[in-house]
């Protein structure tokens, strides 16, 4: 009888450990940032707002994507994201823009949810680290009109 009780106790302990492990893995599993996100930033020198578009793709454990923004003369500028990392729902990446022989790197850190990405952007300006908040909403495909 004692052996039987020890076996049942061991099975219960193993079962509880398995439940805890499954719960832990479910929490650690990364959010999927795949999709298109957009947000606006204030325009230069009081100009009109600028619409930014971020396209992300998760392949295995690798995040890739591009950031599109209005450029000079109304042309869209596309920049590949670099150093992308996704840990749970924490996303980080950087972009580097080149203009007039200079380069500027911005580092993005954010939390991913089902319909948005929200965090901070860090960059250097006049030799000092600056930061600002950013929040991008996931763009959903527009429904096609019903035909009769």
Across 42-73, b (16+ Cβ under 10 Å) vs e yields: eeeeeeeeeebbbbbebeeeebebebbbbeee
Quote the tokens at residue 50: 């600028």
pLDDT digits (tens, 9 = 90+) for 79-133: 999 999 999 999 999 999 987 888 899 999 999 999 999 999 999 988 899 999 9
Q: Residue 97 CA to chain centroid, in angstroms?
A: 19
Q: Which residues contact 48 (CB under 8 A, 6 or more apart)?
A: none
- 90-99, strands of its sheet edge to edge: 76-80, 62-70, 50-59, 35-41, 128-138, 116-125, 102-112, 90-99, 82-87
Contact 75, 68 (CB under 8 A): no
Q: What is the pLDDT of residue 142?
A: 60
pLDDT digits (tens, 9 = 90+) for 131-147: 999 999 999 876 545 55
| Average pLDDT along the chain | 83
Q: What is the pLDDT of residue 26?
A: 44
Kindly report the pTM of this predicted structure.
Answer: 0.72
DSSP sequence for 52-84? EEEEEEEETTEEEEEEEEE-GGG-EEEEE-EEE
């Amino acid at each position: 009888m004692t052996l039987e009780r020890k076996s049942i106790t061991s099975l219960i302990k193993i079962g509880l450990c398995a439940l805890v492990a499954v719960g832990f893995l479910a929490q650690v599993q990364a959010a999927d940032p795949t999709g298109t996100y957009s947000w606006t930033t204030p325009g230069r020198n009081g100009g009109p707002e600028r619409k930014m578009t971020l396209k992300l793709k998760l392949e295995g454990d690798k995040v890739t994507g591009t950031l599109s923004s209005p450029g000079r003369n109304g042309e869209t500028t596309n920049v590949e994201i670099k150093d992308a990392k996704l840990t749970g729902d924490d996303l980080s990446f950087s972009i580097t823009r080149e203009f007039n022989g200079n380069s500027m790197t911005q580092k993005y850190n954010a939390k991913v949810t089902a319909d948005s990405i929200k965090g901070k952007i860090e960059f250097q300006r006049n030799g000092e680290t600056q930061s600002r908040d950013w929040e991008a909403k996931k763009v959903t495909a527009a429904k096609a009109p019903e035909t009769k």
